[in-house]
């Protein structure tokens, strides 16, 4: 298997080659472990079911160092020492988790406010949901400053890398740069970067750009996001740009801005999917939801307006309307985890999705069949894999998405009788995957027709397409992503030093 040979240990070697002495400090909003007090008054440790924290944790375990994040577990504050640190993983500590505490006001304003009602919709170009409030911004600035101060306390004196994750922390690099010019600062932005025409509506755009330009390396999923970011720097800051190197020089400091398309632990998904346990799970699922002799479609999403779930339901409505022969023969399984439920736009979305599914099921169900199985809670990864593996078609219909890992998880989970992939052209993954059935979620009729074609796709064509997609995916895993990023972080300051930045 082409993914073999990549492992946390190899990423460790790459890190140590780049930073022989220096400590790795990773900074993210979410933490990799939460300590929770149970009803029996015991403390348990909760780990995320999937996502980036799960993928980065083995690397931190291999490299050592510190992870700084918001401590949101109900017993988090009880297990830390006087410096808010706790060793993790709890059973055999390999690195330090440094927790930062947020008040309810911080959560409302920094997290639910500026991060998720200003930057998230702005970067996804969904301006109807953008809310700018002074109190959101003040809190975002304050929390970012506190994250930066925590880094100062954790970074040690040997240089090393500070690696920021995502849009919650756009200002922290600039605060840190002012006090620790010896550290290499790098940032990965997990969501799209918008065109200048969109960014310009943001009242704090200059601070955001300046915050990110304090990094030595800034990563996005796609080169188109890199281009958007650099264009914003030219339009707003009059920065000097070397397009060939994808480098921005601003106030005498160079930031390399590069694309690093993120991926998943491909080998792990392939192994899970091929296991006998998965076979057993599939049998149980078929039984539980009455899916025998059905064509099965699958959608797995956080309930977010960027994922195009309503557009997908509308395309399904047209598909069933125009192809009544599918009644009783095709079931769509929507697994949707409620997300950011305190925000009105998300509450509204949840209501509309619930209502549309109820309407569709109400109008079309028979005694022995309903068109949509709706699962409204997170599933463990091994159960998700079973759903992926049994499906005949996956629908990913994002109206805008940085990458989208679900499609990669689906591909890695396919076997000899693979499903077809209907993938929005507006998901970053569309640039990567090739050979999917491309859909435009804004063109509902075209979308429905693509679904019909995908469901009718002969086995040989599905195999052919899936093999091409798998080959590509195996070359780009979460480990190659980390290795590429860390290698670039290791050389970026030497590259900057070779330029005459003052001229």
* Number of residues counted as binding ligand ADQ (CB under 6 A): 22
**Consecutive H or E run containing 414:** none
Contact 301, 350 (CB under 8 A): no
Per DSSP, 22 falls in state P
Asked whether position 300 contacts ligand ADQ by CB under 6 A, the answer is yes
Asked whether position 409 contacts ligand ADQ by CB under 6 A, the answer is yes
Q: Which of 14, 123, 405, 411 binds ligand ADQ (CB under 6 A)?
A: 405
Asked whether position 335 contacts ligand ADQ by CB under 6 A, the answer is yes
Contact 223, 255 (CB under 8 A): no
- At closest approach, how far in Å is the CB of 83 from ligand ADQ? 30
Q: Give the residue among 369, 338, 363 at the shortest CA–CA distance from 353.
A: 338
Task: Annotate each residue in 4-33 with x if it binds ligand ADQ (CB under 6 A) or - if it does not, as one string.
Answer: ------------------------------
Per DSSP, 204 falls in state T
Token output for 13:
């070697």
**Consecutive H or E run containing 287:** helix 276-289
Asked whether position 441 contacts ligand ADQ by CB under 6 A, the answer is no
Closer residue to ligand ADQ, CB minimum distance, 320 or 410 = 410
Q: Give the residue among 389, 408, 404, 430 at the shortest CA–CA distance from 298.
A: 389
Per-residue H/E/C for 23-68:
EEEEECCCCCCEEEECCCCCEEEECCCCHHHHHHHHHHHHHCCEEE
Contact 69, 56 (CB under 8 A): no
**Neighbour order of strands in the sheet with 295-302:** 372-375, 330-337, 295-302, 393-396, 420-424, 437-439
- At closest approach, how far in Å is the CB of 377 from ligand ADQ? 7
Q: Contact region for ligand ADQ (CB under 6 A) — 76-84, 344-352, 398-406, 433-441?
A: 398-406
Among residue numbers 459 through 498, which ones bind ligand ADQ (CB under 6 A)?
Answer: none
Q: Which of 36, 43, 49, 234 binds ligand ADQ (CB under 6 A)?
A: 49
Token output for 78:
């009880």
Task: Annotate each residue in 121-160 with x if it binds ligand ADQ (CB under 6 A) or - if it does not, as one string.
Answer: ----------------------------------------
Q: Give the residue among 171, 114, 180, 189 at the shortest CA–CA distance from 151.
A: 180
- Taking the C-alpha atoms of residue 307 and residue 431, their distance in angstroms, rounded to an integer, is 17
Asked whether position 337 contacts ligand ADQ by CB under 6 A, the answer is yes
Q: Which of 71, 378, 418, 419 binds ligand ADQ (CB under 6 A)?
A: 378
What is the chain's alpha carbon radius of gyration, rounded to the nearest angstrom? 23
- Tell whether omega for the bond before 89 is within 30 degrees of 0, i.e. cis: yes
Q: Which of 99, 190, 258, 340 binds ligand ADQ (CB under 6 A)?
A: 190
Asked whether position 106 contacts ligand ADQ by CB under 6 A, the answer is no
Closer residue to ligand ADQ, CB minimum distance, 204 or 334 = 334
- At closest approach, how far in Å is the CB of 380 from ligand ADQ? 7
Q: Which of 326, 406, 421, 488 binds ligand ADQ (CB under 6 A)?
A: 406
Closer residue to ligand ADQ, CB minimum distance, 220 or 250 = 220
Per DSSP, 325 falls in state G
Q: Give the residue among 424, 426, 431, 356 at the shortest CA–CA distance from 396.
A: 424
Q: Contact region for ligand ADQ (CB under 6 A) — 47-55, 88-96, 385-393, 489-497?
A: 47-55
Asked whether position 199 contacts ligand ADQ by CB under 6 A, the answer is no
Q: Contact region for ligand ADQ (CB under 6 A) — 46-54, 70-78, 81-89, 274-282?
A: 46-54
Q: Contact region for ligand ADQ (CB under 6 A) — 12-20, 49-57, 70-78, 91-99?
A: 49-57
Contact 226, 257 (CB under 8 A): yes
**95-100 vs 184-188, strand pairing mode:** unpaired
- Taking the C-alpha atoms of residue 209 and residue 389, their distance in angstroms, rounded to an integer, is 42
Asked whether position 308 contacts ligand ADQ by CB under 6 A, the answer is no
Asked whether position 48 contacts ligand ADQ by CB under 6 A, the answer is no
Closer residue to ligand ADQ, CB minimum distance, 185 or 300 = 300
Asked whether position 309 contacts ligand ADQ by CB under 6 A, the answer is no
Number of H helices and E strands in the chain, helices first, is 20, 18
Closer residue to ligand ADQ, CB minimum distance, 155 or 170 = 170
Task: Annotate each residue in 205-244 with x if it binds ligand ADQ (CB under 6 A) or - if it does not, as one string.
Answer: ----------------------------------------
Residues that bind ligand ADQ (CB under 6 A): 49-52, 190-191, 262, 300-302, 335, 337, 378-379, 384, 401-406, 409
């Amino acid at each position: 298997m082409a993914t073999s040979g990549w492992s946390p240990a190899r990423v460790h070697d790459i890190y140590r080659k780049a930073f022989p002495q220096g400590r790795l400090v990773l900074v993210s909003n979410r933490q990799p472990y939460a300590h929770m007090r149970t009803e029996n008054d015991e403390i348990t440790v909760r780990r995320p079911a999937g996502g980036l924290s799960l993928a980065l944790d083995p690397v931190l375990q291999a490299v050592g160092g510190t992870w700084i994040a918001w401590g949101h577990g109900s017993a988090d504050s009880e297990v830390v020492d006087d410096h808010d640190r706790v060793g993790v993983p709890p059973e055999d500590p390999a690195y330090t988790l440094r927790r930062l505490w947020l008040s309810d006001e911080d959560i409302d304003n920094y997290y639910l406010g500026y991060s998720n009602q200003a930057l998230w919709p702005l970067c996804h170009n969904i301006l109807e949901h953008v809310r700018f409030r002074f109190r959101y911004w003040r809190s975002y600035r304050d929390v970012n400053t506190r994250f930066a101060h925590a880094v100062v306390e954790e970074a040690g004196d040997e240089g090393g890398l500070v690696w920021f994750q995502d849009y919650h922390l756009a200002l922290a690099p600039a605060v840190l740069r002012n006090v620790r010019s010896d550290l290499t600062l790098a940032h990965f932005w997990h969501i799209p970067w918008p065109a200048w025409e969109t960014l310009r509506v943001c009242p704090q755009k200059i601070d955001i750009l300046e915050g990110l330009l304090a990094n030595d390396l800034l990563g996005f999923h796609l080169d188109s996001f890199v281009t958007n970011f650099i264009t914003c720097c030219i339009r707003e800051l009059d920065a000097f740009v070397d397009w060939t190197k994808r480098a921005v020089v601003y106030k005498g400091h160079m930031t390399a801005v590069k694309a690093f398309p993120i991926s998943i632990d491909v080998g792990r998904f392939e192994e899970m999917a091929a296991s006998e346990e998965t076979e057993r799970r599939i049998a149980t699922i078929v039984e539980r939801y009455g899916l025998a002799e059905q064509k099965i479609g699958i959608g797995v999403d956080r309930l977010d307006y960027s994922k195009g779930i309503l557009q997908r339901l509308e395309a399904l409505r047209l598909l069933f309307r125009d192809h009544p022969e599918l009644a009783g023969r095709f079931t769509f399984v929507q697994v949707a985890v409620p997300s950011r439920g305190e925000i009105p736009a998300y509450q509204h979305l949840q209501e509309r999705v619930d209502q549309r599914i109820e309407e569709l099921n109400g109008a079309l169900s028979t005694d022995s069949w309903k068109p949509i199985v709706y699962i409204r809670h997170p599933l463990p990864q091994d159960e998700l894999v079973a759903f992926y593996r049994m499906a005949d078609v996956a629908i990913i219909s994002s109206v805008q998405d940085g990458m989208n890992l679900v499609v990669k998880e689906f591909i890695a989970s396919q076997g000899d009788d693979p499903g077809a992939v209907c993938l929005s052209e507006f998901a970053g993954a569309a640039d990567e995957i090739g050979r999917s059935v491309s859909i435009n979620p804004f063109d509902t009729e075209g979308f429905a027709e693509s679904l019909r074609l995908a469901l009718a796709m002969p086995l040989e064509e599905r195999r052919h397409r899936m093999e091409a997609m798998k080959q590509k995916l195996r070359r780009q895993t979460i480990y190659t992503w980390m290795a590429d990023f860390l290698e670039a972080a290791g050389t970026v300051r030497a590259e900057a030093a070779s330029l005459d930045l003052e001229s």
